[in-house]
Structure 1
């Protein structure tokens, strides 16, 4: 089979992928819907279970303190059943009093006992109720606060970056974006695995847990208002479906897709990808370069790792550089983007930089000490 026939075969599979995509939209289930959620970065470091245990321990401490107070002053109380108050009676009285049940079978009869009830037992009752009821109120308040945060995030999220898949490729893509100055609150992670979403949340990123091949999930990530979409799932067929869905929801966004096999590149581009990066072939080329010249491979890795030494960056031409030859720039210019055309440094047309050009330069990374 020739390359042309292989590409034609891939193109013939495109309608099948589209039909699978539409079928996945029709096969919504309640449990799948319940699994999709937006998670904002957690601000507290205390786990909810630990908070509940602490409150329960504090409530038991208040109950024990009240029991001790009643038992010490047991002569000032009257039990209608046997006219005496022992330790069990004191614990019983403390329990029904703090819970505001108050059966009235054990009552304070002396002035001292009644004064202690006014000054000590009543405040302890209030504290006890605050501890128990406060836990429920805090949970409800936290949910409300989370919904308010999500609503505010939706209202202000525009021109952000959506990253589908938070595996090895997705994490390194986010690290590069953050290194290039993109704030974390402008990056949204979409992943079907709760573990990956939790890892993204721990990294301070907004996450959407759900199947990215479904439009409902991507709509929760506000993909319709995003300017860039990075698709980095584990499988190429999933990448094609995600790309189809994202392109349908957003016609103007730049979509970059990671693929495993070169033969799937034409299909992904027909699905709507602007750029397709093949991980297997890229790794193979790097392996070959490393065998021939390890120093060249280290230099390439240095260029691809932002902030490690040398950075390969794209930036607009400054006013001072307009009209000047590329060699006059402070950084080493390796290519110039002029309109939709890419001119390398050896192109004879590249004699002077023009307004609107974007230069691709090699510059030395700025460390925190240098800054």
Structure 2
């Protein structure tokens, strides 16, 4: 499901029903006011029920012929009013079907074009609390909306994601076919934010099978499942329940520290963590010589704290985990924020 502004289906149907009812009532009124100009084969003057009957069979093009206009005025009304109303009524009815077909064709065409050009995007499996927070953080770090694909089994959730500007896929992400619809085999990163740990394991297995090179970031509720996620192919695993518990504990015993930790978790407010490669002028120097506050060093896939012996001399290819302030007065240069 691609993002597109549109009127909701229920509202669209109600709108068409209202138009059809207005047309029907208008025809009934026109016939009833000139009921003397119509002939009923059963004899007698037309009643209000007869007028409703004639209006219904006329604008629906059924036309049994048992009631017919006989006077010049009634025939003129049929020519200049009832016939156009009949055409408009048919347009309202057929238009609903045509709109559905046109919308489906347009969506299929847009989806085909998207699949032809999508590369290095991010697939977010699960658009609940964790998935929404992950997407919010991605947007705050500069990731474009059209490069995020949301996968969720709930059509309403996917529709909400599409309205927010994301590409959405409805289905069970444990199935390879659903992940292929999201082009997970071409994705740069895959975020697994499902509600259940067993589902997260199955999604990770399927995603890693389809895309051996993508980075897979997964979330679990229980720490005992972390190793299982890693064995399934996840590069990083976050334990949501224990992380929240630790933050609560720190906030209780050390409220100021807890506030800073919470600040770091919310991208774009106060203090943020970011990663960049060591610059040429920093090679051979200790990590303490770096201008920005440095917390850790990543070398050969290993993350080491700032006081590790390896941090005494920075080498080519090292990456630094730094802290930056998002306060306008303390913003660093753009190249320092984005990295070399």
Would you say same fold, with TM above 0.5?
yes
Q: Which one is further off, 255-264 or 297-306?
A: 255-264
**Aligned with 2:198 (options 237, 250, 267):** 237
What residue in structure 1 maps to residue 334 of structure 2?
Answer: none
Q: Which whole-Å deviations, capped at 9, do the CAs of 1:245-289 have from their partners, x for residues lacking one?
A: 111110100011213333333332222111122234433433443
**Secondary structure in 2 aligned to 1:182?**
coil
User: 1:68 Cα deviation (Å)?
Assistant: 1.4
Q: Which has the higher contact order (CA 8 A, sep 6+)?
A: 1
Q: Which whole-Å deviations, capped at 9, do the CAs of 1:48-70 have from their partners, x for residues lacking one?
A: 12321221121111111112112
Structure 1 distance, partners of 2:52, 2:163, is: 44
Structure 2 distance, partners of 1:243, 1:146, is: 29
Q: TM-score, normalised by structure 1?
A: 0.77
**Aligned with 2:5 (options 43, 48, 64):** 43
Aligned: 1:162 with 2:123? yes
Q: Would you say the 8 A contact 2:263–2:272 is kept in 1?
A: yes
**Secondary structure in 2 aligned to 1:363?**
strand
Aligned: 1:294 with 2:255? yes
Describe the shift of the 1:263–1:92 C-alpha distance in structure 2 as closer, same or farther (beyond 3 A). closer
Describe the shift of the 1:98–1:193 C-alpha distance in structure 2 as closer, same or farther (beyond 3 A). closer
- Give RMSD over aligned pairs: 2.9
**Secondary structure in 2 aligned to 1:51?**
helix
What residue in structure 2 maps to residue 264 of structure 1?
Answer: 225
Q: TM-score, normalised by structure 2?
A: 0.83
Describe the shift of the 1:221–1:125 C-alpha distance in structure 2 as closer, same or farther (beyond 3 A). same
Structure 1 distance, partners of 2:313, 2:136, is: 35
What residue in structure 2 maps to residue 81 of structure 1?
Answer: 42
User: 1:348 Cα deviation (Å)?
Assistant: 6.3
Aligned: 1:91 with 2:49? no
Describe the shift of the 1:124–1:196 C-alpha distance in structure 2 as closer, same or farther (beyond 3 A). closer
Structure 2 distance, partners of 1:148, 1:81, is: 56
**Aligned with 1:227 (options 172, 188, 205):** 188
Q: Which whole-Å deviations, capped at 9, do the CAs of 1:322-364 have from their partners, x for residues lacking one?
A: 3146678664343444554546544666578777654432222
Q: Would you say the 8 A contact 1:289–1:296 is kept in 2?
A: yes
Structure 2 distance, partners of 1:279, 1:67, is: 64
Aligned: 1:184 with 2:145? yes
Structure 2 distance, partners of 1:345, 1:310, is: 18
User: 1:198 Cα deviation (Å)?
Assistant: 4.8
Q: Which consecutive unaligned segments of at least 5 residues does structure 2 have? A: 332-340
**Aligned with 2:134 (options 140, 151, 173):** 173
**Secondary structure in 2 aligned to 1:101?**
coil
Q: What is the correspondence of 1:142-157 to structure 2 with a 5 Å cutoff?
A: 142-157=103-118
Q: What is the correspondence of 1:1-371 to structure 2 with a 5 Å cutoff?
A: 39-41=1-3, 43-44=5-6, 46-82=7-43, 84-194=45-155, 196-316=157-277, 322-324=280-282, 331-337=292-298, 340-342=301-303, 344-346=305-307, 358-365=319-326
Q: Would you say the 8 A contact 1:255–1:273 is kept in 2?
A: yes
Number of residue-to-residue matches in the alignment: 326
Q: Which consecutive unaligned segments of at least 5 residues does structure 1 have? A: 1-38
Describe the shift of the 1:112–1:356 C-alpha distance in structure 2 as closer, same or farther (beyond 3 A). farther
Structure 1 distance, partners of 2:30, 2:219, is: 69
Q: Would you say the 8 A contact 1:255–1:272 is kept in 2?
A: yes
Q: Which whole-Å deviations, capped at 9, do the CAs of 1:283-313 have from their partners, x for residues lacking one?
A: 3433443344221111111111112211111
